[in-house]
Amino acid sequence: MKIKTVIPDGLKKHYNKELELYRISLLKGDLSKAWQYLERSHILGQSYPYEHSYSHWLMLKFGLRQKNLKEVLGQILRLAIGGWKSFIDHVPTGNTGGSDVPPLKRMKLPLDLKTVLTKYNAA
């Protein structure tokens, strides 16, 4: 079992860039694009407890803002279990983290994110 607690600096920069793009899209009112950036942050950070949980926290807040009960309930569940799954590196690669997909479903990685994750041995 691999224990991961700290995201590599280079990967953290990519993760933070997705969050920055999320915030910009949110401010512009482009909610669809904002959600896509949250999903991408989740993919990049899901192997690291803090980043994984933070992506789910933002998804919960997004669900509350949208008054989307399914998303809110799904994110509460994911917040309860996601961090410890990251800690033991038992996460489904490529999972976008939203309540519209099963929590343990592996998904195809977008090519650009696969390249980033491979570079930092996180795929």
Report which of 49, 48, 52 is spatially closest to residue 38, judged by C-alpha positions: 52
What pTM was estimated for this model as a whole? 0.92
Q: What is the pLDDT of residue 84?
A: 67
Contact between residue 88 and residue 1 where contact means Cβ atoms under 8 Å apart: yes
Q: What is the pLDDT of residue 123?
A: 58
Q: What is the pLDDT of residue 2?
A: 64
Where do we find the tokens 């992506």? 55
Q: What is the pLDDT of residue 107?
A: 95
Q: What is the pLDDT of residue 83?
A: 67
Q: Which tokens is 31 given?
A: 């909610």
Q: What is the pLDDT of residue 11?
A: 97
Low-confidence spans in the chain with pLDDT less than 70: 1-2, 83-84, 87-89, 122-123
